[in-house]
Amino acid sequence: MTMVLLTPAIWNGFPIIFPDTGGYLTVAITGTPLPGRSALYGLFLRAGIPLAFWPCVILQCALMAWLFTVTMRVNGLGGRPWLTLGIVAGLTVTTSLPWLAGQLMPDILFAASVLALYLLGFAHERLARLERYALAAVIALSIPTHMAAAGLCVALLAALALIAVAARVRPLPWPAPRLSLAAIAVAAGIALCPVSNFAVTGNFAFTPGGHGFLFGRLIEDGIVERYLGENCPDPSIRLCPYLDDMPDQADDWLWGNDSILYKLGGWDAHKAEQERIIRQTILMYPGMHLEAAIVATALQLITFDTEVSLDDNDPTIDAVSQFIPALLPALNAARQNNERLNVVALNYLHRPVGGLAMAALIFALILRRQLKLTPEAAALCVTILLALAANAAICGVFSHPVDRYQSRLVLLAPFAVTIMLAQRARPRLKA
């Protein structure tokens, strides 16, 4: 399964990179905090440098293979390695799974943490003690790799806690989750965020930059433009002179070479004004904020194309050139950096598979009696749907809708569907 998941990276000739990969490396090598770049994940990448990062993607693929295997086992499909291999091979073709597992980014850890929370919550008694500790470690180590992962795990844990409370009042069609170890793992992961940043950068703080991503979304939604239009000219607002030049897209504000943000000194220099405008607009335009948040969440929920960066990897290439020049020839020779690794056509398959699988999870819960859905499978459907909704709200509201943000979790929906299909086929296979 690990080798199957590595196929795109092997075909690429180098672990798949993203523009952000260079930021993670820079944080770990220089010890300088960067917006949205986890020091812990950067340290993980740095450890893989001697072998051209291959240990990093091998571990990511092996982690997912193990989580799939354990999930199959607790759903009554253990001891059938060829079935598990077949399911993983199918997911490799029909979802973003191998493109994320083979990428030097923490995105695959979102799916890993969701499966780990599911297993700890709903299959606690079916796990060996060592497996429980390993799953807790997966959660605790995934959270500091990305602040959105931290938000996702906290939100999912809270939702599962509500389910546990509801189960005490009224029986549910799935087992009541046991969340003590999961809660400890999430708490440890949250604590590890500032601790890991301090160990690498000397700053005891969470990964910086959250205000900037939210401000970018408010620009995209027109909230900042309305605020400036109603309050400028005002010498206390540094953005006023740029009112007519404000970008329409969050990415142009955050990363554009000629962005107004950098003319104002960058993320830290403009942080105070951004936070002040965010607070004031919430008070001045609560309805506009609420509507924009709902729209962003809904849009993020259905935005999940598989993406591979082809023509904007300069930040990573520059970081490798500066800090690891010995790896630059191999990186430049990769298909990805010669625009021979375009995955656009794959979305003619990935998009409908993901959408239909999400719909299938909902219908499976509605028709659980007719389908004779097992409690464990029902719990898996619920967990994945809650995770998808939480991730859409967190990423859509606090950043802005991006395919990559949701594709890193949508891959779990087809996995759950294949489990349900295998469970229904099991009696016939035994016969």
What's residue 341's pLDDT?
A: 75
CA-based end-to-end distance of the chain: 28
User: Which H or E run contains 365?
Assistant: helix 347-366
Same domain? For 259 and 158 the reply is: no
186, 214: one domain: no
pLDDT (0 to 100) of residue 281: 96
Look at residues 232, 255, 284 and tell me which one is the last residue of a structural domain: 284
pLDDT per residue over 341-394, tens digit each? 778 899 999 999 999 999 999 999 999 999 889 999 999 999 999 999 999 999
Report the pLDDT value the prediction gives residue 427, as an integer from 0 to 100. Answer: 56
Tell me how far apart the alpha carbons of residues 43 and 47 are, in angstroms, rounded to a whole number.
6
Instruction: Provide the pLDDT for residue 257.
Output: 76
Q: With a cut of 50, list the residues of the chain below it in pLDDT.
A: 429-431
3-state SS assignment for residue 289: helix
Single out the residue in 348, 365, 381 at which a domain terminates.
348
Let me know if residue 374 belongs to a domain.
Answer: no
Residue 312: predicted pLDDT? 84
Residues 164 and 268 reside in one and the same domain: no
The pLDDT assigned to 431 comes to 37
Looking at this protein, which amino acid is placed at residue 376? E
Locate 398 and state its tokens.
Answer: 């606090």
- 3-state secondary structure (DSSP) of residue 306: coil
Note whether residue 70 is domain-resident: yes
* Tokens 């597992």 belong to residue: 101
Is 44 within 8 Å of 29 (Cβ atoms)? no
Please give the helix or strand (H or E) that residue 159 lies within, else none: helix 147-169
Question: How does pLDDT run across 250-268, given as a tens digit for each residue?
Answer: 989 998 878 999 999 988 9
Any domain includes 149: yes
